[in-house]
């Protein structure tokens, strides 16, 4: 089957754990269907106004946890229809973060006994029983993440230096990582036992940076996006390639090559949004939640969605509930968001209801002959951009361009040296390229004003 490439230039600005490490099954089951509001989001829980939920996590469609101020921990075993406090065997601590896989969940923070020590609590039976461990180091844990039911990481500080711990047996034993990170982490995510990313903050320089590791967290290197952005604190990777970071001012960056190149994806609509958390389930579909927007007074909780990797965002919900601080999806349809006043909202329809329009730009187009055009990348001006992409090859590819900006596509050698050995340039509105080889390409756009480039490949 012939494969074609379309470049459109337009003006615009789980793994579920059933019984601990090693015993696994796919995250299956049917979540309780709530009567959806017009927007597609339904309130599941409201509580005291002085308690704010800071995190929400689901291990599968049924089992979820939320963590709030005043050491509030709630759990559900029915997709959020009912939420109950967790207490059985849960050691009193100052809990800062929570994550889940299947029926297993982990809390992290610090013990309440002097001297303050890093602490992790775990359950492998949906919260019926908890076991709490006090780690050897003084300080507190503020980030915990698991790539699967066995491999997990916890990050924190002792007030002077960053701390990092890792487990390979589902949290039964934790080891200190050395040398570990040199900066404090605001957000962290691992997609395998080796590959992870984090938002690191240098408190002295008051700057933020995207950090990456390929050896399970022992060594970290700074990547380009985020330098100089002190407020950058949101992170989501859908896989080993596709990732996004954002700050509370709505500035977005994305990568399609594991962070080797980052592209700014900030849009005018998101620039005014108070973004508190983001999540992506694949290279195209993602959600962002926050405390509202100056564009939509009064400032209330808002939910945004994208279906083209962050190129365009649609406001899904601003129903008047308080600000939202966390969001989590299991698959493309089922999601939960939590925030102020113990608010939990949920969707079983990707947030789409009778009154919600899907984002105008999607990642898959259908041609007259039923071919599927899959988005490879999307770029936007006004500044010039360079990024790296990978094409699957084929007999024929076509790039559609416009004279609004100059586009160059350079085929790079696969030896890691970025050696240029073939170059193509758009010289008119339409350029045909015969037998464009599969491989890694450098895509450069030189333009001024508000432009955008969306690259599609027919597969």
Per-residue pLDDT of the chain (459 residues; tens, 9 = 90+): 333 333 333 332 233 333 446 444 333 333 333 334 456 899 999 888 888 898 899 999 999 999 988 778 999 999 999 999 987 556 666 888 999 999 999 999 887 776 788 989 999 999 998 988 888 778 899 999 999 999 999 999 888 888 999 999 999 999 999 887 888 888 999 999 999 999 887 655 556 678 899 999 999 988 865 444 556 789 999 999 899 998 877 788 888 889 888 887 887 777 777 888 999 998 889 999 987 444 444 457 889 998 888 878 888 877 677 889 999 999 989 999 999 889 999 999 988 864 444 443 333 333 333 345 566 666 665 666 777 777 766 544 544 444 455 666 666 655 545 444 445 554 444 444 445 667 777 777 666 555 556 666 665
Which of 314, 347, 380 terminates a domain? The answer is 347
- For residue 387, being part of any structural domain is answered with yes
Cis, bond preceding 62 (omega within 30 deg of 0): no
- For residue 354, being part of any structural domain is answered with no
Burial 114-133, CB ≥16 within 10 A → b, else e: eebbbbbbbbbebbeebeeb
- For residue 383, being part of any structural domain is answered with yes
Q: Are residues 336 and 195 in the same domain?
A: yes
Return d(Cα 405, Cα 384) in angstroms, integer.
Answer: 9
Q: Are residues 339 and 367 in the same domain?
A: no
- For residue 355, being part of any structural domain is answered with no
Burial 309-324, CB ≥16 within 10 A → b, else e: bbbbbbbbbbbebbbb
Q: Are residues 326 and 372 in the same domain?
A: no
Q: What angle do CA 309, 34, 358 make, to 5 degrees?
A: 30
Q: Are residues 424 and 299 in the same domain?
A: no
- Residue 300 φ then ψ, to 5°: -135, 175
Number of domains comprising the chain: 2
The pLDDT value recorded for residue 361 is 37
Count of beta carbons in the 10 Å neighbourhood of residue 444: 17
Q: Are residues 201 and 131 in the same domain?
A: yes
* Coil, strand or helix at 291: strand
Residue range(s) defining the domain that contains residue 368: 5-12+363-458
Q: Are residues 317 and 379 in the same domain?
A: no
Minimal CA–CA distance to 162: which of 180, 147, 145?
180
Q: Are residues 335 and 399 in the same domain?
A: no
The pLDDT value recorded for residue 327 is 96
CATH at residue 450: 2.60.120.1300
Minimal CA–CA distance to 40: which of 339, 333, 361?
333
* CA 202 to each of CA 20, 81, 226: distance values in angstroms, whole numbers, following the listed order: 36, 41, 12
- Residue 269 φ then ψ, to 5°: -65, -45
- For residue 112, being part of any structural domain is answered with yes
Which of 318, 347, 376 terminates a domain? The answer is 347
Entry pTM: 0.70
Which of 296, 323, 347 terminates a domain? The answer is 347
Q: Are residues 306 and 339 in the same domain?
A: yes
- Residue 342 φ then ψ, to 5°: 55, 40
Cis, bond preceding 115 (omega within 30 deg of 0): yes
- For residue 352, being part of any structural domain is answered with no
Q: Are residues 450 and 332 in the same domain?
A: no
Q: Are residues 342 and 373 in the same domain?
A: no
Return d(Cα 68, Cα 315) in angstroms, integer.
Answer: 26
| Residue for token pair 């995510």 | 189
Q: Are residues 447 and 314 in the same domain?
A: no
Return d(Cα 221, Cα 212) in angstroms, integer.
Answer: 5
- For residue 196, being part of any structural domain is answered with yes
């Amino acid at each position: 089957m012939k494969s074609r490439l379309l470049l459109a230039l337009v003006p615009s600005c789980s793994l579920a754990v059933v019984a601990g490490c090693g015993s696994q099954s796919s995250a299956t089951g049917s979540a309780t269907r709530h009567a959806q509001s017009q927007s597609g989001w339904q309130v599941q829980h409201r509580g005291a106004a002085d308690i704010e939920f800071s995190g929400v996590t689901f291990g599968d469609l049924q089992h979820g946890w939320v963590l709030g101020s005043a050491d509030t921990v709630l759990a559900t075993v029915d997709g959020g229809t009912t939420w109950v406090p967790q207490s059985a065997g849960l050691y009193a601590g100052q809990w800062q973060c929570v994550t889940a896989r299947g029926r297993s969940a982990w809390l992290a923070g610090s013990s309440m006994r002097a001297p303050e020590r890093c602490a992790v609590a775990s359950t492998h039976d949906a919260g019926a029983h908890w076991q709490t461990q006090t780690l050897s180091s003084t300080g507190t844990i503020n980030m915990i993440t698991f790539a699967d039911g066995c491999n997990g990481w916890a990050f924190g500080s002792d007030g002077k230096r960053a701390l990092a711990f890792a487990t390979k047996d589902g949290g039964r034993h934790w080891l200190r990582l050395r040398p570990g990170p040199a900066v404090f982490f605001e957000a962290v995510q691992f997609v395998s036992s080796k590959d992870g990313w984090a938002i690191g903050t240098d408190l002295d320089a008051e700057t933020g940076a995207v950090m990456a590791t390929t050896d399970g967290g022992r060594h970290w290197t700074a990547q380009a996006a985020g330098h100089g952005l002190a407020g950058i604190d949101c992170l989501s990777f859908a896989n080993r390639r596709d990732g996004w970071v954002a700050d509370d001012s709505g500035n977005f960056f994305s990568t399609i090559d594991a962070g080797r190149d980052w592209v700014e994806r900030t849009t005018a609509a998101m620039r005014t949004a108070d973004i508190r958390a983001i999540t992506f389930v694949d290279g195209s579909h993602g959600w962002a939640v926050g405390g509202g927007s100056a564009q939509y007074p009064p400032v209330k909780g808002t939910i945004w969605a994208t279906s083209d990797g962050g190129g365009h965002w649609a406001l899904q919900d601003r129903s008047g509930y308080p600000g939202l601080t966390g969001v989590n999806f299991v698959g493309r349809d089922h999601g939960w968001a939590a925030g102020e006043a113990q608010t939990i909202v949920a969707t079983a329809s990707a947030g789409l209801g009778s009154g919600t329009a899907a984002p105008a730009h999607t990642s898959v187009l259908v041609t007259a002959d039923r071919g599927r055009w899959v988005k490879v990348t999307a770029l936007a001006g006004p500044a010039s951009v360079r990024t790296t992409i990978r094409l699957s090859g084929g007999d024929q590819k076509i790039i559609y361009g416009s004279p609004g900006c100059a586009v160059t596509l350079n085929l790079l050698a696969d030896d890691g040296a970025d050696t240029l050995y073939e170059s193509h340039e758009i010289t008119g509105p339409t350029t045909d390229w015969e037998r464009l080889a599969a491989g890694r390409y450098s895509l450069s756009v030189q333009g001024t004003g508000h432009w955008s480039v969306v690259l599609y490949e027919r597969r």
